Structure 1
Amino acid sequence: MMTNLFSIFDPATTIFTLPLNWMSSFMSLIILPYTFWLIPSRTNMMWIQLTNFINKELKILINKNAKGSNIIFTTIFMFIMINNFMGLFPYIFTSSSHMSMTLSLSLPLWMSLMIFGWMKFYNNMFAHMVPMGTPSILMPFMVMIESISNLIRPGTLAIRLAANMIAGHLLITLISSTGPSSSTILISFMVLAQILLLSLESAVAIIQAYVFSILSTLYSSEIK
């Protein structure tokens, strides 16, 4: 029984002490198109076209000195998008709505970029602290502001993804929870509203994966 609205996001369902909710992140491997055949299927061709499109979009933003890193961000986009879509199916836990997953993606990525940047390009990293044309009296404040904005980047990436995935699911749950006690006409409107919300959530699943990968790419492009 659902004790509160947020219990649908509780990753504590276990069978034989196995946390099955997190298996949704691995179930996506089943639906990935395989390349065993000489002639690719339509699903495989669609997957290749989507990958090439995201790869071209990210390659424009990536620093020329970081060749090959677009593969990392393309993989992150695909991983987040698949997990977002898996959460739209009934009885499947949305792993991308939990902070333990989103923060596990953003924090190591941000830390690796910071460690690499401060070890290799520390002069440029210091230069990013003070924008060009800043008055001398405002430089200490700009360093403080830029340092704080840099430190909260992994948190904002994680919270943005989790909050956007939670919001749509909560709205769908709120609408469906009032269904049994409603009239037939109201139920028909609720079903139509849920169909529209599912369409909106499908777009949000793609947009949030795109925003996460684009922001990660922009953060990496600052290290040069």
Structure 2
Amino acid sequence: MGYQILRTPPLSSSKTLIFSKLVSPPTLAPTSLFKTHFRPFVSKPIVTVPNSATGFGGASFQFQQSNRSFRGGVVAMAAAPGSFQKSEEEWQAVLSPEQFRILRQKGTEYPGTGEYDKFFGEGVYQCAGCGTPLYRSTTKFNSGCGWPAFYEGLPGAINRNPDPDGMRIEITCAACGGHLGHVFKGEGFPTPTDERHCVNSISLKFAPANSYASQ
């Protein structure tokens, strides 16, 4: 008894399909059959953010790129919540005294003194503690408050919790818990969310757009 041997295209399957001549083959053309039932998985590219961009204790981190983009580059996805947990002693060893005061002890820098208050370059603002992407530069605006202001963060990157006195809403990095600042709503700024994320410059590390696009 003879057989007709049909092999699947590369990346579809490693198996060989055998049809007996006594059995009528499918009326669909083989290429259509495999296109219908086998869809190769295409992985999205991985962006490696070096230590020079994260400022975090000699390590580099990888983030999977998303399809959401800003002018001149690709926005990296936020890291998993709680993925950078350290003791306060460990944080003190890898942060500068001022970073530790603000990120871990919930301090505040003086208004108008921060590096990113009047800075409007294109790129991504990361957590200065763990390197997790937090804000796109396209969401930054000049609020005149003396601190960097953003109208929204990257999805899942930022946690919100009421201050102990109940007067304000604190924002923290979802990955490491670092203190960023506070969020205010309903102030009347002409932004899509009518929110102002008031963030300490020292809680952030800016990564230019071309640092992602060149990966």
The question of a shared fold, defined as TM-score above 0.5 by the shorter chain, is answered with no
**TM-score, normalised relative to structure 2:** 0.23
- RCO comparison, higher one (Cα < 8 Å, 6+): 1
Please say which structure displays the higher CA radius of gyration: 2
**TM-score, normalised relative to structure 1:** 0.22
